[in-house]
Amino acid sequence: MLNRRDAVSGVLGAALVPRLAGAALVESGPQAALLAFLRAFENCDLPRMEAAFARDATCFDRAPADPGDLAPYHRATGMPAGMRHLALTLPKTVPGPPYHRVDPQGLACVLHGDIALCTFELEGADNLGRRTVVLRNEGDAWKIIHIHASNIYLPPRRTAVAPEPGPAS
């Protein structure tokens, strides 16, 4: 049986959400603002990325499978440091733009007055990224007021070790 969340996600994901690559962003509203931000992120366009955030924005950055020091992963202000780092380093090492692809899966945007709650997933080779983005209508534009990024990692693959040969009979 299809529940409400799956139905909303499916409808938005299939009918309303264009793929980023080559998609024309003609819609207005929070979904268009989010997709424009993700396109700027793909292109490592730091000025456009920064312009997508409200002055009072907060974030929880994604953490790697083994973060080491936990300090960088507490709540911060503005755009996540990991996004900024990618936007500054990818153009130095990867041809583009775009410098990488962001393919939001199951994008759902739900309006609550002047606030929009958008969620999606990003599938990687060894992880599933989950993103929650909260946007606020500031009259002339929808601005990001919070991003929460988390990843679930697959355990490292263990290679089968061949048994050592026993003594000859």
- Cα separation, 62 vs 68, in Å, equals 13
CB distance 147 to 133 below 8 Å: yes
Query: For the chain, what are the domain ranges?
Result: 4-64+71-153
Q: Is pLDDT of 20 > 50?
A: no
From residue 133, alpha-carbon distances to 104, 110, 141, 159, 161 in Å are 12, 11, 15, 38, 44
- Cα separation, 24 vs 18, in Å, equals 8
| Per-residue confidence (pLDDT) for residue 10, from 0 to 100 | 40
Q: Tell me the CA end-to-end span of the chain in Å, nearest whole number.
A: 62
Q: What is the pTM of this model?
A: 0.73
Q: Is pLDDT of 157 > 90?
A: no
What is the token pair recorded at 166? 């026993």
> What would the mean pLDDT of 83-111 be, rounded to a whole number?
95
Contacts for 78-81: CB closer than 8 Å, 24+ residues apart? 78/50, 78/53, 79/49, 79/50, 79/53, 79/147, 80/147, 80/149
4-64+71-153: which CATH architecture? Roll (3.10)
Kindly indicate the confidence band of residue 8, based on its pLDDT and cuts at 50, 70 and 90.
very low
- pLDDT tens for each residue of 102-125: 999 999 999 999 999 999 999 988
